[in-house]
Amino acid sequence: MKNSIGDNKSFRLLNLYERFRRGEKLTKKHLAELYDVDKRSIQRDIADLNDYLFKEGGEQEIRYNTGMKAYELRRIREGAFSDYDIYAISKVLLESRAFSKEEMSRLLDTLLMGAEDQATIKYLLENERFHYIEPRHGKKIIDFIWEISQSIKNHQVANVRYIRQDGKERCYAVEPLGLIFSEYYFYLIAHRVGGAQKQTTIYRIDRFWEYVLTEETFRVPYTNRFQEGEFRKRIQFMYTGPLTTITFAFWGDSLEAVLDRLPTARVIEEAEGKAVIKAEVYGEGVKRWLLSQKDCLEVLSPKAYREEMVETIHMMSSLYENE
């Protein structure tokens, strides 16, 4: 016969919470036997209790104590990350490959100092930290990122010396508008000063040789301000081109991955295993992603964009015709 408390989830949660409040250290195995349920039910109970504690102010949390190999109720330091937060943030940082090895180590060590179970997090990250490969530019950029962000905030014009991808050096005066991270690199979005019309340009910040702030400022009306979040939704691989609304059919493995890759995308039709998707994007960058989907995607409109895709595919095909 089932345990009467274990048979009722509400009573089970209350009983479990009281045990943790009394300071008991509890294992999933012991609790599963006590309440006559499986371990997955206990795991869900702990998750539900943590959700409740978070909504009640987040001052306490049920955590796993690796030394005692049991769960316990702990008080969270105000304004501090939990060990779970620190581990998750560290994983994202390592995957980004955004910083030099020295800067990455400093960031991870600083995060680790705030953890209660430092030994476990250090062990879990040890292999990735050892094999971390910094970006090829190898530059320390964190201080420079802050300098750029202040020039954006203060609307200061900067005189810059920039090395383009082809190795050519160029000097510009720019009005910094926003800072974005994408695919291993940080980018400055800025208006290039001079000429009949201001030109919005993307600069990879590690390619600046000089970034000298001037006393000159510029005005940006609030309604025309640059919004990094909106810009980021529409750009791929930091190539702009004209802002275009495209539709395409997709029948690959993961529709969810497509919708995550293109935040403005929405499915407008589904039939015969194909999804028709509409998205507002900057045309040149997204073309590279569309081509990466091999034979699982077909651009439908606009007509000119479809023709560009066909032309690009023919050019790619011609590279292999002599083999």
Q: How confident is the model at residue 6 (pLDDT cuts 50, 70, 90)?
A: low
Locate 140 and state its tokens: 């320390």
Locate 282 and state its tokens: 């900057």
Among candidate residues 143, 127, 66, the one with its CA nearest the CA of residue 91: 127
pLDDT of residue 201: 85
Tens digits of per-residue pLDDT, 235-292? 666 666 678 898 999 998 889 988 988 888 899 999 888 999 999 887 677 888 888 8
pLDDT of residue 222: 65
Is pLDDT above 70 for 64? yes
Do residues 269 and 247 touch, judged by C-beta distance below 8 A? no
**What is the three-class DSSP state of 252?**
coil
Do residues 272 and 225 touch, judged by C-beta distance below 8 A? no
pLDDT of residue 22: 83
Q: What is the CATH number of domain 9-75?
A: 1.10.10
Locate 261 and state its tokens: 């890759």
Tens digits of per-residue pLDDT, 150-198? 999 999 999 999 999 888 999 999 999 989 898 889 999 988 887 666 7
Tens digits of per-residue pLDDT, 79-136? 678 888 999 999 999 999 999 999 999 999 999 988 878 889 999 999 999 999 999 9
For residue 48, the surrounding DSSP H or E stretch is helix 39-55
pLDDT of residue 249: 94
Do residues 239 and 185 touch, judged by C-beta distance below 8 A? no
Please provide residue 87's backbone torsions phi and psi, each rounded to the nearest 5 degrees: -65, -45
CA distance 260 to 224: 27
Among candidate residues 47, 54, 51, the one with its CA nearest the CA of residue 76: 54
**Highest mean predicted confidence (pLDDT) among 39-53, 60-74, 95-109, 194-208:** 95-109
Place of tokens 């090895």: 101
CA distance 159 to 179: 17
- Look up residue 311 and give its amino acid: E
Q: Is 0.75 topped by the overall pTM?
A: no
Q: Where are the domains of the chain?
A: 9-75, 83-130, 142-226, 240-318
Domain 240-318 has what CATH class? alpha beta
pLDDT of residue 1: 40
DSSP string, 255-322: HHHHHHHSTT-EEEEEETTEEEEEEEEEHHHHHHHHHTTGGGEEEEE-HHHHHHHHHHHHHHHHTTTT
Tens digits of per-residue pLDDT, 279-295? 988 767 788 888 888 88
DSSP string, 170-205: EEEEEEEEEEEEETTEEEEEEEEP-SSS-EEEEEEG
Terminal-to-terminal C-alpha distance of the chain = 74
pLDDT of residue 7: 62
Q: How far is CA 181 from CA 66, 151, 236, in A?
A: 36, 17, 11
Query: Would you identify the CATH topology of the domain 142-226?
Result: SH3 type barrels. (2.30.30)
Count CA within 13 A, CB hemisphere, residue 119: 3
